[in-house]
Structure 1
């Protein structure tokens, strides 16, 4: 029998991992390979085409709708500053906001392990309701499944959301352009450290609380300046490192950061040093990165700083023509270092 090798495609991730590992869920290189070489390959022409951002923007009845879905497997389910409940709502709201959309409606699906106390599920539901009210969205549909004791781990939550993208707004990774300023809305690494600080076996004293928050109001304030915002991204799994590397790759540009301008709180830096982690790879749940033309940077920063969720906003770098597809940081000593894409999972079960 003759085999047509030219027509073959690779249906599995490129790395030598014949089974799923924790690294496939980390938002880094392994996650990207899983999506591109297994899921999209399997979907064929029924799957997404073009850029893969935080959400999809689709046409519907003359409007442009943003559509996103996300799963949450946080351990522990309750942590300083939040819980899996408000995290699930805010995370999907923020994915919609990164397209410039006004979030409208969310769904919520629960996988519950047999034996989980009803009181804990009630706390999660209340947290979701409070977060939805604060964000101005409605939880309109959902589903519940229960698995045998030992087959899950407490509560897993999947949320999906839809929102409306205003006319004239075009925010996507491929629009990053040389000369853009790279902005961040506040301190980095806070959420990941807050979760790790209360994880069994890793407890350490810190006053860090999760930064989980809905960011669509901050995005609306940025757009109200009239600036042409090119790219927005909330640096969740894989942190700033993964987010900027994905943007650099998709747009075919280089990104240059100024290391001394990166807003990493002392407590976060100390915790990362203790645990051997890179703060730029630690998840954030209430921060955004923005690429805007440099002439508009100060105008946008002024609007961000006037909003409660952007009061510590600053410029951290620029988009450049050099080293396309790569992110580098200028160090305090005048040298430079490559900010690489994370391979797998630094901090499993963080979001």
Structure 2
């Protein structure tokens, strides 16, 4: 439900939803769906319900779909990105991916790990009146690294990410160090990556931090002329960031 509403919101679509949950489903999942839909505020209608044999699948499958209308005054898009722009993220990286990994592999890291799954529409709507916002993406499958590569390919420029400013939860960082993984590649379910004009970056950052979904927002990098995606270490050493050949986890959304 959160993901289905998030993707249209990234283009500032006014969302109309359709979801495949059965009327009156008695479980808590049905109530959570309804609560999420009401919090997001878009009209919705029930669709179909499908049950599978217990031996083949577990519990209930819920499918959602959404359509939207693009306001005429919105010009967000990766084609707007140019060298000199700044990259921001709306919060800590890898919370969802690390949480799923912990549960699947039974690592026993309880308490400090929780998914960041959230409806981002309320946060995105507040960005509309701000100047300087050029493009935004949700850092889901492939994480921030995947978004950086998308921005670089679309703009014909390069992306350099500052390791010192990446907001990462201590427990997530520990998981990455333990298993040799990178939080930049972990999936998120409630985080935005934004490309913003440099002279408006601090204003957009302050705006993000004033919202509950952006309180851990940070400036994490910049768009440069030299092609490619790189991370810059504490002592200025740069390393190339390739897209991983395989995700740290199977698809989880």
Q: Which residue of 1 aligns with 2:69?
A: 164
Residue 107, structure 1, aligned to residue 18, structure 2: yes
For the Cα contact (< 8 Å) 1:242–1:342, is it kept in 2? no
> C-alpha root-mean-square deviation of aligned residues, in Å?
2.2
Name the larger-Rg structure.
1
Residue 98, structure 1, aligned to residue 2, structure 2: no
Q: Which residue of 2 aligns with 1:332?
A: 234
TM-score, length basis structure 1: 0.67
Secondary structure of 1:197 counterpart: helix
Q: Distance in 1 between matches of 2:174 and 2:60?
A: 31
Q: Distance in 2 between matches of 1:176 and 1:299?
A: 18
- Using the TM superposition, give the Cα deviation of residue 146 of structure 1 relative to its aligned residue in structure 2, in angstroms: 2.5
Describe how 1:224-243 pairs up with structure 2 within 5 A: 224-225=129-130, 227-243=131-147
Describe how 1:135-146 pairs up with structure 2 within 5 A: 135-146=40-51
Q: Which residue of 2 aligns with 1:254?
A: 158
Count of residue pairs the alignment pairs up: 252
Q: Structure 2 vs 1, CA of residues 310 and 201 (structure 1 numbering), >3 Å: closer, same or farther?
A: closer
Q: Structure 2 vs 1, CA of residues 158 and 206 (structure 1 numbering), >3 Å: closer, same or farther?
A: same
- Using the TM superposition, give the Cα deviation of residue 153 of structure 1 relative to its aligned residue in structure 2, in angstroms: 4.3
Q: Which residue of 1 aligns with 2:199?
A: 295
Query: Which of 53, 71, 78 is residue 173 of structure 1 equivalent to?
Result: 78
Q: Distance in 2 between matches of 1:342 and 1:245?
A: 11
Query: Which of 104, 113, 131 is residue 208 of structure 1 equivalent to?
Result: 113
For the Cα contact (< 8 Å) 1:102–1:216, is it kept in 2? no
TM-score, length basis structure 2: 0.91
Q: Distance in 1 between matches of 2:170 and 2:86?
A: 25
Q: Distance in 1 between matches of 2:6 and 2:226?
A: 31
- Using the TM superposition, give the Cα deviation of residue 189 of structure 1 relative to its aligned residue in structure 2, in angstroms: 0.7
Q: Distance in 1 between matches of 2:30 and 2:43?
A: 13
Q: Point out where structure 1 has 5 or more consecutive residues left out of the alignment.
A: 1-88, 112-118
